[in-house]
A and B are shown apart, each in its own frame.
Chain A
Amino acid sequence: MKFRLEAYVEFFGLKPGIAGVIAALLIGGPVTAQSPKIGDPPEAANMRLVGFNDLQGRSAYQPTLHHQGDRWIAYIGHHGGTDAIAKPINPKTGQPEFNGTSIVDVTDPAHPVYLHHIPGQEGTYEAGGAQMTRVCDGKDLPKGDPRAVYLLRTFGGAAHEIWNVADPANPKLVVRLEGLKDTHKSWWECDTGIAFLVSGVPSWRIRRMTEVYDLSDPAKPAKIREFGLPGQEPGSTGRVPTELHGMISTGPASNRVYFGYGTNKGGILQIVDRGKLISGPKEPTPDNLRAPVIGEMEMSPLNGAHTTYPLGKMTIPNFSSDKFASQRNMVMIVDESLVNECQVGEARQMVWFVDATVETKPMVVASYSVSEASGNFCERGGRFGSHSSDESMAPVFFRKLAFVTWFNAGVRAIDIRDPYHPKEVGYFIPAITAATDKRCIKVNGQDACKVAIQSNNVETDDRGYIYVVDRANTGLHILEVTGPAREIAGLPAN
């Protein structure tokens, strides 16, 4: 067979950058001058470290903070293990355990105490683990055991589970919802018991869609319906719309659920009538899938919708004298970066502020991104770009400061009081440790690896602490804001 390409030769030459040349020359693991070193201090502005826990060197995803009695407990989900250490040893038991869920007492944030590890599903990196966590008190759920505290977590991509963590050091499995081909995020309304679960029901054409459950009695889960974009449902043909990443409900009073599809490409924000979603016709026909949708916004295909965080009605400072529409219904969308070292395959991922005042026609009005040049982040190693924001609506930070993880640029604090003009007011880039895992790209066909922090997920508690966890196995950093950032939050000076 003959093969002729007019511009064939350009695809056979690689022009490695200086970093790549250095990487190719060094033996036993290249590290450039741009990569952090063990012993380097953290980098910070208006944020400082309060406490740290190594989370047993497990790659971490969703932290959830819960006030249990007089204690504060952090429930932290984990990705699967690494090729080198697929099943890390749990020092508390002396046993190797697949990454699952860490339970840490953070009542004294300066001295967090690791209580228990619930093993997860076998697997490495994106497979296995138990990435997601949500927590509700039994006394808040309509039919929960009032003595119980329930942890809703994923079990790899296979199932959702509910555990009783009333004694966080001795969790007990309550129920498992299995038979799925994937899972990811979830949202659980503690006052109603309604839960929205990112699931992969096998008959659907997509890995991740929504299962709506009534978990008001966690011991007796009742499935309400399945939901997704038309074209994803069983029996549909042709192009498959981009998969779900997560959702956030504002509950029955506001009656909205905000879905995000397409984590780093082809992002879609979907605004859904919660009541119609729960009570409407359940058969996954295209008409029934469209029925509860109020508005949708397709983003530029170059960006995704990892997190769709409703900020609700906010007075826009510049519009405060206007007699009409001075308040806007805002949504913050956070893309997810997937590609290491800004390589081919992905455009820059960042944060977008959407005016959804006219819910049928949401519109992007502002964006926020970290300056790459401020830290030469594309050369530090690992991913550089946004990932995830805090999702708490506690008054300490809600509509004032948003915290967004940025992988090797740590966690960023953004002043969102004027969401039309968001401003960075602080950041914290944790120091790497001996546990921090490497991240690699290919240079001339060879692995070129660097070690850098990969701040992955963040959450806050009502006291004003910020919990950042690392995807590259470094652990949990507990932070607080200082200076001007602290003033914005209205916290007492520290």
Chain B
Amino acid sequence: MRRTATIAAAFGVGGVLALALYFVPELQRAGPVTVAPHHPLWIETKWPFLMDQWGEGKAFQCKAVDCGVELNLYIRPKIGFCSSSTGVADDNELERLSDFDFMNGPGVALGEGHEINVAWMKGRLRTYVIAGPNRSRASAISIAYNNNSDALVATVILNDARPNAVEPVVIEFLNEKAMLRWVTVALGL
């Protein structure tokens, strides 16, 4: 049984590795991301997704001229969906909260996630390459952070860039006063 499990795990890991190797060369050829200007400009856009059990959130865009690469960010609260005692403690919990359906293709994780802070809230961030047709270079960032048992889940979709290079821009945006005011309202604080 252990041998079977080992073989199965090897195929699983091999499959993930194969997908990553398929897309990593494209990302490597993409070249360095243009350093973002000091004043990225985020504009609210229309929520593009169909209604589901979590309802609509808010959508924002930062154009390439402002952020170095076009970023589309989708954020919404998931009320009562997080453990108030452990928070977003690990990648499993982050992925349970994540909106993978927003990625328009299977997301393959680029390594492990890491902790982040948004104001008083702790959370976690992980980056993904999106496996699309024609060796698409889309990638994504999934972020979840919590206030007690309520979670905020943000998904950033970007084309043709290394997602970890824009993490600081995204985290800075989430920490903006206006975003935190919206979070306060959305969570009923």
Contacts and interface: CB of A to CB of B under 8 A. Distances in A.
Interface of A: 1-8, 11-12, 14, 123, 125-127, 204-207, 235, 237-240, 243, 264-266, 282-283, 285, 301-302, 338-339, 343-347, 441-442, 445
B59 to A, nearest CB: 11
B159 interface: no
Given A4-B44, A266-B53, A442-B188, A238 B107 contact: yes
Contacts of B92: 204-206, 240
A111 B51 CA distance: 51
- The A contact surface, by secondary structure, is loop
B41 A285 contact: no
7 contacts: A2-B39, A6-B44, A8-B44, A207-B96, A237-B95, A339-B80, A346-B79
B108 A237 contact: yes
B6 to A, nearest CB: 11
A213 to B, nearest CB: 17
Contacts of B42: 1-4
A2 B43 CA distance: 9
A235 B91 CA distance: 12
Interface string B28-59: 00000000000111111000000011100000
A283 B41 contact: no
> By DSSP majority rule, is chain B's interface helix, strand, loop, or mixed?
mixed
A105 B184 CA distance: 48
Interface of B: 1, 4-5, 8-9, 12-13, 16, 39-44, 52-54, 77, 79-80, 83-85, 92, 95-96, 98, 100-101, 106-109, 149-150, 172-173, 176, 178-179, 181-182, 184-186, 188-189
B40 to A, nearest CB: 6
A80 B107 CA distance: 38
Given A12-B181, A239-B95, A345-B150, 17 more contacts: A2-B39, A3-B178, A3-B179, A5-B44, A6-B44, A11-B181, A207-B83, A207-B96, A235-B12, A237-B108, A238-B107, A243-B96, A282-B1, A283-B5, A302-B53, A339-B80, A344-B188
B106 A237 contact: yes
A1 B16 contact: no
Contact of A123 (B13, B39, B85, B108): B85
A167 B71 CA distance: 65
B188 to A, nearest CB: 4
A14 B185 CA distance: 8
B185 A338 contact: no
Contacts of A204: 92
A265 B100 contact: no
Contacts of A207: 83, 96
A126 B40 contact: no
A12 to B, nearest CB: 7
A5 B178 contact: yes
B76 to A, nearest CB: 11
Contacts of B101: 239
A338 B79 CA distance: 9
Nearest to A299: B53
Contacts of B79: 339, 344-346
Contacts of B84: 125-127
A48 to B, nearest CB: 35
A301 B53 CA distance: 5
A238 B100 contact: yes
A206 B13 CA distance: 19
A283 B9 CA distance: 11
Contact of A441 (B40, B109, B188): B188
